[in-house]
Amino acid sequence: MTARYAIINSSELVKENRWDAGFHITKNELKDRLPELEARLTKDECWEILAKFSTSEKLPLMVLSRGSWSRPSEATMNAIAKEYPHLSIAVLEQHIAETKAKIEADLAETKAKLETATQVLTRSYPKHFRAGWIYPLLETDRFDDDFGTGFDHAAIPADYDPQTVSICDAWICNAKGEVHPGYNSNPVPISIEGIDVDKGRKLDAALPEPVSVVDWFKKR
């Protein structure tokens, strides 16, 4: 960390009526910028700009605080801005990159909270399969064939961990959990978009074990 220092005249100490080094070093560092800001902005315009930042975003201004303003607060920031409007803007400029990064991080967090609040408001929760559960198929006659009809549910094996996949191997069955006779050898891939997640329920019935190709041919 680079040491900061400045040569301050005693007249400057008297003028500002303060002896704290941090203040005088900061003011000395910004001595060229201050006249530019004073020519560009009125005090009211400085206050208007500063008012748009939160207390935490204005923490760099604490270098300008007097002993009686030792704790960061809205009142402290207002007192600093009132006494040093242009110097406050100059200090803020020095730290604007970090301040901007903090605002962007807070904004991202706020956006995530807003998305979650909207999700709760609309009840549009993430869809996912659950092991050992059975779900109605949205296309109820999708698996109707010569082997049977009414097999309009998909059952997820209890020992399967679907996590957050969008397609899961499921047994085609009816509402009782009875497996479709034409699909009783192996589960088939089912999309999360093809089931009614909100009407899913825990399945009590036992599901068959998948049959290997070799075993399937032995049965024939």
Instruction: State the amino acid at position 195 in one-letter form.
Output: I
Residue 128 is predicted with a pLDDT of: 86
Q: Model-level pTM greater than 0.75?
A: no
The whole-angstrom separation of Cα 133 and Cα 154 is: 8
**Percent of all residues in the chain with a pLDDT value above 70, rounded to a whole number:** 86
As for how many domains the chain has, the answer is 2
Considering the domain boundaries, does residue 100 fall inside one?
Answer: no
Q: Is residue 40 in a domain?
A: yes
Q: Mean pLDDT, the chain, as a whole number? A: 86
Angstrom distance (rounded) from CA 50 to CA 95: 13
Closest to 199 in 3D by CA, of 145, 152, 149: 152
Report yes or no on 139 lying in a domain: yes
Q: How far apart are CA 92 and CA 98, in angstroms?
A: 10
What is the gyration radius of the CA atoms in the chain, in angstroms? 34
Instruction: Flag whether pLDDT at 30 surpasses 60.
Output: yes
DSSP 3-state assignment of 208? coil
The per-residue pLDDT for range 50-87, each reduced to its tens digit, is: 999 999 999 999 989 887 666 889 999 999 999 999 99
| Contact partners, residue 153, CB within 8 Å, separation at least 6 | 134, 135, 136, 137, 172, 173, 174, 175, 177
129-133, 196-200, 204-208, 215-219 — which is least confidently predicted? 215-219
Question: Does residue 64 contact residue 84 with C-beta atoms inside 8 Å?
Answer: yes
With respect to residue 103, please indicate whether it lies within any of the assigned structural domains.
Answer: no
Give tens-digit pLDDT for 138-157: 999 999 888 888 999 999 98
Residue 18 resides in a domain: yes
